[in-house]
Amino acid sequence: MAQPEKGSKKLLNAWAFYDWANSVYSLVIATAIFPLYYESLFPEGQEHINAFGTSMKGTALMSFVMAFAFLIVAFISPLLSGIADYAGNKKTFMKIFCYLGAFSCMGLYWFDLENLYLSLVCYLFGLIGFWGSLVFYNSYLPDIAYPEQQDRVSAKGFSMGYLGSVILLIVNLAMVMKPELFFITGATKGEMAVKAMRISFITVGLWWILFSQYSYLYLPKGVKGNRVTRDVMLNGFRELRKVWLQLGENRTLKRFLGSYFVYSMAVQTVMLVAAFFGAKEIQWPDADAKRMGLIVSILLIQLVAIAGAVITSRLSEKYGNIKILIGLNCIWAVVCIFAFFITLPVHFYVTAGVVGLVMGGIQSLSRSTYSKFLPQTNDTTSFFSFFDVTEKIGIVIGMLLYGAIDQVFGSMRYSVIFLTVFFVIGILLLLRVPKRMTGQ
């Protein structure tokens, strides 16, 4: 099959379609269904569990597991991206992480507190698979799109991801709320709902594997064809060092990365813990109302995020990327302050709507802004590996702080309000980014 040319509609669509395939993980597993399932494993009134030799709050434990997963991704992505850049086989690594994540999602079907450590391993590998594949997926952006196309195709990817994941979530929601329609049996309705949640984990893995094949069909293998030797194994870390040295010569890119490191730390943390927060901190009438309310909130976030990503890309064309990113950070800071005070479901719905509006925008615009600021190079994977390492280390710090505050104070509200500080610092750092590029 002939390889589509850079900038061609077929190639751009194939790249964006991977978001359709893999975003079901971030929505169904990380955001919607799994937090509900995890909370259902704890008896009424129990919040702590004995793990790793100590008594830990259940939500804090998941924060620490997520932090550990991101630490692993931050360490291995330079190693693998260096090999991918040298050998020109980034698609192979993208597939490996895709399948690792997908099969780990299926393994969550057997997640329970009696086999806690094995269960946490499945959750850990699901995270590693998802975020590891994104290292290589994001690095394709400057390879498949020209600078003037990158804002829109980045936004298109996120929009397709939101739309595809919503479709599967609606199916999973129907399974949870009406399990009898899907021939799911159980002694009680609650037992049937929990079983439906477990089955939804399998649907995520199957969806991810199935729809990713379209992207693999058209994405280029790479730009080189060198043989991997023992010396190449550490090439990724050398490449990161080269990128770091080049940052000293590119003040715009360096300052943008500094700001991104800080505000992304807060954005990703909020997104990863939102459902856990809603399950524990909001006063729902009963368990059924909680399940329905949280899933409806997540659906609202995803649907609004589609519009948010598109609107943001249009605004960036008119006012410049940096100005819009500053505005988005301001909104995020207000959201965190507001979240400290919310107690009722209606408050959570309003917060979810605003989060959806700015979530897609800040992610897609950050990715495309970084791509625009890159120097001319064929080793795009190294630069995006640096970008991803920056993001992952930020998430590790954010999740550790969030989990520690939750464990000490016994409430996630104090953790959320603390994240406001990162958005404020992010705004101040964005103001220092030189206006090197027209309209930025």
pLDDT 10s digits, 360-405: 788 878 878 888 887 766 566 677 777 778 888 888 888 888 888 8
The answer to whether 324 touches 365, Cβ cutoff 8 Å, is yes
Please report whether residue 3 resides in a domain. Answer: no
CATH code where residue 25 lies: 1.20.1250.20
State the DSSP H helix or E strand holding residue 415, giving kind and residue range, or none if neither. Answer: helix 412-430
What letter represents residue 53's amino acid?
A: G
Residue 215 lies in domain: 9-222+234-430
Please report whether residue 136 resides in a domain. Answer: yes
What's the confidence (pLDDT) of residue 171? 92
> How far is the C-alpha of 212 from the C-alpha of 192, rounded, in Å?
30
- 227-238 mean pLDDT: 62
DSSP per residue, 19-38 = HHHHHHIIIIIIIIHHHHHH
What's the confidence (pLDDT) of residue 63? 85
What's the confidence (pLDDT) of residue 375? 76
Q: Which residue has the tokens 């059924």?
A: 288
Please report whether residue 227 resides in a domain. Answer: no
DSSP per residue, 226-255 = PPP-GGGGGHHHHHHHHHHHHHTT-HHHHH
pLDDT in tens, 149-202: 887 888 788 788 878 888 998 899 889 888 998 989 888 888 898 999 999 999
Number of structural domains the chain divides into: 1
Higher pLDDT, 152 or 262: 262
What's the confidence (pLDDT) of residue 20? 93
What's the confidence (pLDDT) of residue 25? 92
**The pLDDT of residue 67 is above 50:** yes
pLDDT in tens, 404-416: 888 888 778 888 8
Confidence band for 437, pLDDT divided at 50, 70 and 90: very low
Please report whether residue 425 resides in a domain. Answer: yes
Closest CA to 373 of 236, 239, 257, 265: 257
Please report whether residue 327 resides in a domain. Answer: yes
Taking the mean position of all CA atoms in its chain, how far away is CA 17? 16
pLDDT in tens, 23-44: 899 878 877 788 888 888 888 7
pLDDT in tens, 50-61: 888 888 888 788
Please report whether residue 2 resides in a domain. Answer: no
Please report whether residue 4 resides in a domain. Answer: no
Q: What is the mean pLDDT of the chain?
A: 83
Please report whether residue 283 resides in a domain. Answer: yes
The answer to whether 415 touches 406, Cβ cutoff 8 Å, is yes
Distant-in-sequence, close-in-space partners of 45: CB < 8 Å, separation ≥ 6: none
What's the confidence (pLDDT) of residue 176? 87
The vertex-356 CA angle with 350 and 360, nearest 5°, equals 165
Distant-in-sequence, close-in-space partners of 5: CB < 8 Å, separation ≥ 6: 11
- 73-88 mean pLDDT: 70
Torsion of CA 247, 251, 253, 256, to 10 degrees: 120
Distant-in-sequence, close-in-space partners of 134: CB < 8 Å, separation ≥ 6: 22, 388
What letter represents residue 385's amino acid?
A: S
